[in-house]
Amino acid sequence: MSKTVLIFRHEFLSTLKRTGFVILTLALPVLGLLAIGLFHIISGVTPPPPATTQIGYVDEAGGFAQFTTQGNITLVSYNTRETATLALVKNEISEYFIISPDFVSTGIISRFTTQRELMAPLAVSEAIQTFVSSNLLSGKVPAATITRVQSPVNLVTSRLTAEGLPASEQGGLTNIFIPAVFSIMLMLSLVFSTTYVLQGLGEEKENRLMEILLSSVSPRQLITGKVLGIGAAGLVQVLVWGLSFPLLLSLASSFFGGSFSSLQIPANFLVLGLVYFILGYLLFAVLSSGFAAMSSTVREAQGLAGIFTMFAVAPFWFFSLLLLYPNNPVWVVFSIFPFSAPVLVMLRFGMTGVPGWQIAVSLAVLILSIIGGLWLTARLLRVYMLMYGKRPRLGEIFRNLKTG
């Protein structure tokens, strides 16, 4: 049997037996089941009725006497500011506001409270606005018009194909749910799988086991077996998550219905996710091997590897900006940049239609980066794999890349 196959089998089985790997693989499905069960239990408990809040107001403009009940907020009228302040001090009301005589021209309402806060609570602001607008329009326009003024637009968007027919995949926030969860799983699997590669090589070098291994196998066989073995284990992890996700989604839709029942996982999305995982893992694993070869300790190698693994996490740091501007040129560039492409493209896939040329260029750059990374790593391994206790300088690395 080929030595590469032996190393592959050893690394694959060793990774599957790791406690951390097993916990991480089972954690997401188990946490999903617990979240669904907990939400089902909580939703079945009838919440207590909300407490009624009393807010005072002083009507100096006149004509604001109706619609004093706004949900669980009751508005209490006072004749003067002094009586309203006294009621606030006695805790008869939680706060009060004043409608000045020139309110119609200025729109200013003065609010007074004993609480320290950055801004008025949303429920209070909405209650005051509805109270004021209802009184201003009462008797002048029909009640239906008042309701429409207070809530003018309920925008419903439908996506059409190029032929003008309803598209099978509609937009909306529900469509980002699956790509977002899948991107998180992809990012975790990429980071942890490449960490196993880095730790394995680093520990073997640090414990001087590398000398024994390289006396029996070539550096190429060693790296190939390790990268493919750990990558296959990472692929098993992704498949477990991928198979459990539709089951969790089906369970959630049967319990809750609503938007969950309309969520679907397109086949092209799964295929593209699998391709990006394989290419992203190969790139990260190859570079991790090079960092492990150059570093004198595992900790030092992990610090260096954090430079490129950071790009896999970065899309989630700017998620709100990405959600607002998914087609911004910045995101297009980083969708092609090899370190961020696997996660970012899958994330954008649920927000907007990613053009085919961007996906093609992104995959081509990933493949070229893997080939270039293999060439660089092979040279670094040849020079630094058996070098201990010495941290090479940047200039020395460049010289060795030319001559290695």
Q: What per-residue confidence (pLDDT) applies to 232?
A: 83
Environment class of 319 (CB within 10 Å of its CB; exposed 0-12, middle 13-18, buried 19+): middle
Main-chain phi, psi angles of 167, to 5 degrees: -75, 145
Structure tokens at 237: 């992890």
Same domain membership, residue 179 and residue 123: no
Helix, strand or coil for residue 293?
helix
Is position 156 within any domain?
Answer: no
Q: Which residues lie below 8 Å from residue 378, measured CB to CB, with a gap of 6+?
A: 219, 220, 223
Cβ distance 135 to 65 under 8 Å? yes
Determine, yes or no, domain membership for 165.
Answer: no
In a domain, 44, yes or no: no
- Per-residue pLDDT, 107: 87
Domain closes at, from 85, 116, 150: 150
Same domain, 101 and 144: yes
Q: What pLDDT was estimated at residue 373?
A: 80
- Residue 402 phi, psi (nearest 5): -75, -35
pLDDT score for 92: 92
| DSSP calls for 174-194 | HHHHHHHHHHHHHHHHHHHHH
Structure tokens at 81: 């500011």
Burial of 91 (C-beta count, 10 Å sphere; 0-12/13-18/19+): exposed
In a domain? residue 311? yes
CA distance 284 to 234: 13
Query: In the prediction, which pLDDT does 286 show?
Result: 79
Q: Name the pairing type of β-strands 95-99 and 109-113.
A: antiparallel
d(CA 391, CA 32): 44
Last residue of a domain, one of 100, 115, 150: 150
* Whether residues 74 and 192 fall in one domain: no
Q: Give the 3-state secondary structure of residue 232.
A: helix
Query: What would the two tokens of residue 182 be?
Result: 């899948």
Q: Are residues 178 and 144 in the same domain?
A: no
State the amino acid at position 277 in one-letter form.
F
Would residue 157 count as lying in a domain?
no
Among 164, 161, 144, smallest CA distance to 152 is for 144
Kindly report the number of other CB atoms within 10 A of residue 176's CB atom.
21
What is the Cα–Cα distance from 391 to 395, expressed in whole angstroms? Answer: 12
Does the residue 158 lie in any domain? no
> Which tokens sit at 187?
């990012």
Same domain, 286 and 354: yes
Taking each helix axis from N to C end, the angle separating 267-294 and 356-384, rounded to the nearest 10 degrees, works out to 20
Do 128 and 214 lie in a common domain?
no
Q: What confidence score (pLDDT) does residue 224 get?
A: 77
Nearest residue to 76 via CA among 61, 94, 90, 63: 94
- Tally of structural domains, the chain: 2
Q: What is the pLDDT of residue 398?
A: 56
Q: The pTM is what?
A: 0.62
CATH number for 130: 3.40.190.10
Query: What are the pLDDT digits (tens) for 340-388?
Result: 888 888 888 767 778 888 899 999 999 998 888 877 777 776 666 655 5
Q: Count Cβ neighbours within 10 Å for each residue of 324-347 and write b for 16 or more, e otherwise.
A: eebeeeebbebbbebbbbbbbbbb
**Domain-located, residue 219:** yes
> Is 305 part of a structural domain of the chain?
yes
Tokens of 229: 């073995």
Q: Which domain holds residue 310?
A: 3-29+173-403
Domain identity same for 341 and 397: yes
Do 188 and 128 lie in one domain? The reply is no
What pLDDT, on the 0 to 100 scale, is given for residue 382? 66
Same domain, 263 and 313: yes
User: Same domain for 262 and 388?
Assistant: yes
Same domain as 265, residue 131: no
In order along its 404 residues, the chain shows pLDDT tens digits of: 577 788 888 878 888 888 878 887 888 788 878 877 787 777 666 666 667 889 999 999 888 988 999 988 999 999 999 999 999 999 999 999 999 999 888 888 999 999 888 888 888 999 999 999 889 888 787 877 777 777 777 766 666 666 767 665 555 555 666 677 777 777 777 777 777 776 776 666 666 666 666 667 776 777 777 778 877 887 888 788 777 877 777 776 666 555 555 556 666 777 888 888 888 888 887 777 777 767 666 676 667 667 777 888 888 888 778 877 888 888 889 889 988 888 888 888 767 778 888 899 999 999 998 888 877 777 776 666 655 555 555 555 556 555 55
Which amino acid would we find at residue 149?
Answer: V
Residues 352-385 as b or e (16 or more Cβ within 10 Å = b): bebeeebbeebbebbeebbeebbebbbbbbebbb
Do residues 179 and 287 both lie within one domain? Answer: yes
